[in-house]
């Protein structure tokens, strides 16, 4: 049983920063694609960022256009943890952020097809005040 547990959410002013963490247990996740999605009130869940275990193009990281240049996804294999560093936060970044992981899809697939993702965390609230 794979479990993903997010932490690090909270309330921050616009322009501030937060770092989300996702601890993975139950499997060695070195070969998993890991990612972050978010869901704002009244909106569908959307892709934010993903990181592949393959370090090829762009160091294996992928971002939505709305966060590119402001958010950074990374992983610590020794700690079985994936991070999302969020800088220059905007009120429109307010959402519940979900960690996602899958052993058999690519990061590109995760970015466009969340239905194929096997594992999800419970979510952590991020609120950005103006």
Nearest Cα residue to 123 out of 60, 37, 42:
37
Sign of the alpha-carbon dihedral angle for 27, 82, 129, 89: negative
Nearest Cα residue to 37 out of 71, 81, 80, 13:
71
Contact yes or no for 60/107 (Cβ under 8 A): yes
Q: pLDDT, tens digit, for every residue of 55-111?
A: 555 568 899 999 999 999 998 888 889 999 999 999 999 999 999 999 888 888 899
Does 30 or 121 have the greater pLDDT score? 121
Q: pLDDT, tens digit, for every residue of 7-37?
A: 999 999 999 999 999 999 887 677 789 999 9
Confidence of residue 54 (pLDDT cuts 50, 70, 90): low
- pLDDT of amino acid 72: 97
Nearest Cα residue to 22 out of 110, 121, 125, 127:
121
Confidence of residue 48 (pLDDT cuts 50, 70, 90): very high
DSSP string, 30-53: GGSEEEEEEE-TTS--EEEEEE-S
CA torsion angle 23 55 69 97 (round to 10):
-20
- pLDDT of amino acid 97: 98
């Amino acid at each position: 049983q794979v479990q993903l547990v997010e932490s690090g959410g909270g309330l921050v002013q616009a322009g501030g920063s937060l770092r989300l963490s996702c601890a993975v247990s139950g499997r060695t996740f070195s070969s998993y694609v890991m990612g972050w999605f978010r869901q704002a009130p009244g909106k569908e869940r959307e892709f934010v960022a993903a990181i592949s275990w393959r370090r090829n193009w762009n160091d294996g990281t992928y971002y939505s256009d709305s966060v590119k240049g402001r958010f950074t996804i990374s992983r610590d294999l020794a700690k079985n943890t994936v991070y999302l560093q969020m800088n220059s936060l905007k009120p429109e970044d307010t959402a519940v952020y979900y960690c996602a992981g899958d052993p058999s899809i690519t990061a590109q697939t995760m970015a466009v097809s969340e239905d194929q993702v096997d594992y999800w965390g419970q979510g952590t609230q991020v609120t950005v005040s103006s």
